[in-house]
Structure 1
Amino acid sequence: FAMGLVIALSKRNSIGILMGVELMLNAVNLVLITFARFGESTMSITGHAFVAFVITVAAAEAAVALALIISVYRTRGTIEVDRLNLLRF
C-alpha cells in the first residue's frame, strides 16, 4: 500500500498516478483475502465478496480515469498534472 501511495504522490504523469492508485487497491485486496483466510471464520465468504466488489470498483475506476485522461490529452495535448488548469476561470 505504501509503495502505491508513494507512486501516486510522486508522479506528475496522470497514468503514473492511476497506476499508483491501482496498486493501492490491489494491496487492499491482498489484505482482505488474508483476513478472510486467517480470520475467525475461515469458511466465511465475506472476504471474497469484498474482494470481488473492490475489483469491480477498481475496474470501473480505471476505465473512467483512462477515458478522462484520453479526453484531456485530446483537448490539451498533455497528460502532465502540473500543466492542467481546466478548472480555472
Structure 2
Amino acid sequence: MMFEHVLFFSVYLFSIGIYGLITSRNMVRALICLELILNSINLNLVTFSDLFDSRQLKGDIFAIFVIALAAAEAAIGLSILSSIHRNKKSTRINQSYFLNN
C-alpha cells in the first residue's frame, strides 16, 4: 500500500514539474521545475530499488549520481542566468533572442 502512495506522489511531482516547465516564462522557475522532475525520478529509483532489489542498492547509488548531476546543472544554470541578468536585466524565456547578440 505504501508503494502506491509513493508512486502517486512521484507522478504528482513529475506532473507539477512538466506543467511548470511548459508554462513558465521565467528561467529560474524553469530550473526549479526541472529540479522537481529530477527529484521525482530519484523517488522512483529509490522506491523501485527498495521493492525489487533491496540488497544491491543499485537504484540508490544511481539516485545519488542523479543528485550530483542536478547540483552541477543547477550551479551552471544559475551562473549563466546571473550573467544574463547582469547583462540584459531580464531572465524571461520569451526574450531569449538576446542570446544571439
TM-score clears 0.5? yes
State the TM-score, normalized to the length of structure 2.
0.82
Specify which of 30, 36, 46 is matched with residue 23 of structure 1: 36
| Corresponding residue for residue 4 of structure 2 | none
Question: Could you say which residue in structure 2 is the equivalent of 1:33?
Answer: 46
Q: TM-score, normalised by structure 1?
A: 0.93
1:10-31 deviations in Å (ceiling 9; x for gaps): 1100111001000000000000
The runs of at least 4 aligned residues of structure 1 exceeding 3 Å deviation read: none
Where in structure 2 are the equivalents of 1:42-57 lying within 5 Å? 42-57=54-69
- Are 1:5 and 2:26 an aligned pair? no
Structure 1 letter corresponding to 2:19: V
Find the counterpart in structure 2 of residue 75 from structure 1.
Answer: 87
1:66 Cα deviation from its structure 2 partner: 0.3
Alpha-carbon distance, 1:88 to partner? 3.7
**Sequence identity (%):** 33
CA RMSD, Structure 1 to Structure 2 (Å):
1.1
